[in-house]
Structure 1
Amino acid sequence: MSVVVDSHAVQPRWQTVTGSVMSGLIVAFLLFDGAIKLVPIAPVTETLTALGYSADPALARSLGIITLACALLYALPRTSVLGAILLTGLLGGAIATHLRVGSPVFSHLLFGVYLGLIAWGGLYLRYEAVRKMIPFRL
């Protein structure tokens, strides 16, 4: 079975469903991550300190607002590519922070890479325009 995405393209249903699930997972994670930073709970401020940042709740809240803004932009179809671009920047900062403090590679340092791949992969599967911007040819 195929799904009509726009007036020009028809894509397999599995592709749309898989992309939607991947994007949904990213949005759910970002909403959780942003929400716990807004509170902010003790593990958030402790982690900021361990990463070399201030334990100031205002910093955690600011990061929470940025994360929630990225999640909202990514979740809305009209702004999803902008959300993915901003999310990529946010994740790049997280990767740089973990690199700076010598965090474990596969569980911490590359976690931002995993999230970025899932986020862009979800868009890639759902939108022909993204596939045209990033063509993979074998």
Structure 2
Amino acid sequence: MTNTTTPAMLWTGRVLTGLFALFMLGASVTPKLMMMPIAEETMAQLGWPAGYAFSIGILELVLVVLYLVPQTRILGAVLMTGLLGGAMATQIRAGSPLFSHILFSAYLGLFMWGGLWLRDPQLRALFPFARKTNP
């Protein structure tokens, strides 16, 4: 694979990035920042003490913004990967179902990194799908 970005790759990457950002903002950040009861209830079910939802919502918002700003997209993706790993660990500790809950963070991470990888030739060079071999 060359390090050029085709229009199809660019638009697919943009769609994946947009879907990731919209999901995070709509399903995770907004309920926490609006202090909806469901956010605190869900956190309590997962073993988190009361009062953490708002702070985690702020952190998620900052990381989504970092991810969406071109100059900080890699930093945002790396930090968001850490947050998603923590969410996965929380689901494991709570004894949640594997494919629907525990691995959901991995699915989100694939959308997030996939969107960047398709849009960024430097990232594809750093993490190639396949390397060419010289005869």
User: TM-score by structure 2 length?
Assistant: 0.91
Larger relative contact order, structure 1 or 2 (CA cutoff 8 Å, min sep 6): 2
Instruction: Give secondary structure in 2 for the equivalent of 1:70.
Output: helix
Separation in structure 2 between the aligned mates of residue 98 and residue 45 of structure 1, nearest angstrom: 15
CA-to-partner distance for each residue in 1:76-108, whole Å, 9 max, x for gaps?
111111110011000000000000111011110
In the alignment of these two chains, the number of paired residues is 128
Q: How many percent identity over aligned positions?
A: 45
Whether 1:100 aligns to 2:98 is no
Q: Note the C-alpha offset of 1:42.
A: 1.0
Match of 2:50 in 1: 55
Match of 1:43 in 2: 38
Match of 2:15 in 1: 21
Residue type at the aligned position of 2:41:
E
Residue type at the aligned position of 2:36:
I
Q: Name stretches of at least 5 consecutive residues in structure 1 with no aligned partner.
A: 1-8
Match of 1:118 in 2: 111
RMSD: 1.2
Which has the larger share of strand?
1
1:132 to 121, 125, 128: 125
Separation in structure 2 between the aligned mates of residue 51 and residue 39 of structure 1, nearest angstrom: 20
